[in-house]
Amino acid sequence: MIRGLRGAITVEADIAEQVWEETAKLVTVMAEQNNITPEQITSVIISTTPDITSAFPAKAVRLMEGWQYVPVMCMHEMNVAHALPLCIRVLMHADVTVTQKEVQHVYLNEAVKLRPDLVK
């Protein structure tokens, strides 16, 4: 069954290398914690807060070993007052056998503030 896996991470500054490094870290942890391979992933949607403009986070995913054929798309989040800055969010669609409740969502760095109820 196709399930949505959520994740988010923040960067310290809008620097391309940080955007790519933290995006790759988040996607890797999401896959590892959910025991999935790139072949099981249907698509990945990545959004950033509007203050991230130095790089496309999707580039980091496309350059990861075995991930070059996973469809990835980037976009900006809504510009909401007082939102967590410098944040990269990921919605990964994957073919998994676990229930919705068993999906492991991943929040790293300052993004743990977004969903403290899901952080382990």
Tokens of 78: 């809504």
Catalytic residues, by residue number, are 6, 62, 74, 77, 89, 107, 115
Mean of the pLDDT values across residues 3-28? 98
**Neighbour count for residue 9 (Cβ, 10 Å):** 26
Percent of the chain with pLDDT over 70: 98
Better pLDDT: 120 or 104: 104
Structural domain 2-113, CATH architecture: 2-Layer Sandwich (3.30)
Q: Is 89 marked as a binding-site residue?
A: yes
Per residue in 85-95, pLDDT (tens digit) is 999 999 999 99
Is 107 annotated for ligand binding?
yes
User: Rounded to the nearest 5°, which phi and psi values hold at 56?
Assistant: -85, 115
Across all residues in the chain, what is the average pLDDT?
A: 95
Extents of the domains making up the chain? 2-113
